[in-house]
Amino acid sequence: MTTHPAPTISPEQTAVEQELLDTVLASFDKTEDPRLKQLMQALTRHLHNFLREVRLTEEEWNTGIEFLTAAGHITDDKRQEFVLLSDVLGASMQTIAINNPAHTGTAPATEATVFGPFFVQDAPEIPIGGDIAGGAHGQPCWVEGTVTDTDGNPLPGARIEVWEADEDGFYDVQYTDDRVAGRAHLYADHEGKYAFWALTPTPYPIPHDGPVGKMLEAVGRSPVRASHLHFMVTAEGQRTLVTHIFVKGDPQIEIGDSVFGVKDSLVKHFDTQAPGTPTPDGRNLNNQTWTRTRFDITLAPANV
């Protein structure tokens, strides 16, 4: 696509464009909900300013409409192309940053990161020490930790939702056989402790066979996400945490996570265990290698 040099805009043209913007802004003046009014007028201002700054052509406007239309057509109950678009533009992470301000007590709250498009309600419950894999292929991984508040108090009964891709880089919902695998929920014990078996995370590309993938290709960006394991943690009186942990040493972290989700505090050691190494719960892994990691979770107070 050709980059257009900044044209010289006459005062008369500037006045015409500003008059239109003012008219559109005024059309929202009677909006009863003040927050809705603020959102619509700010959106309109920024949109018009973008159009005017880049001097958008009608051809480019049509291309944009076609892109959004294609994103709508490919979106269904198992794929949300608009979430992917928000993710790759960094809008998801920016919204998370705005809505999850840093909070410290005895310990800082665990940082949040992107939700992603593959969470599913009503994942099966497993006991502490259970296995979320559900038949998904990959290297076994033991995950353990505690859930506390920012003053260090354990949060018994905290609900921990976990989900991840298999070793081929696919979530269960990306298959067509209605499998449930690589996801589950469990509850912290009376000391706030939790543990479960999962799969060692591996890098994978976000779905890139649609308009978002074509956009990434056009701008020379990789669709690959750094290796990660998703968490959503809830407890009474605490801010809901949506986050994931990343694998220290994963080269993709240096290359760049396609949705900008990596934070240093969320990069964890996944220590490889030799075949025959005793497991924490005595599980027989048939002489496989496995990994283990620790993720201590600190929840911020609600409404802070």
Mean pLDDT split into 10-residue runs, the chain, 304 residues: 72 97 98 98 98 97 98 89 94 93 84 90 96 96 97 97 96 92 98 98 94 97 96 97 97 94 97 96 94 98 83
- Find out whether 148 and 299 touch, Cβ atoms under 8 Å: yes
Model-wide pTM > 0.75? yes
User: How far is C-alpha 46 from the chain's CA centre?
Assistant: 25
Tell me what pLDDT residue 288 has. 94
pLDDT of residue 3: 62
Alpha-carbon separation of residue 231 from 10, 68, 159 (angstroms): 54, 30, 10
Contact 201, 247 (CB under 8 A): yes
pLDDT value, residue 78? 74
How far apart CA 126 and CA 186 sit, in angstroms, is 5
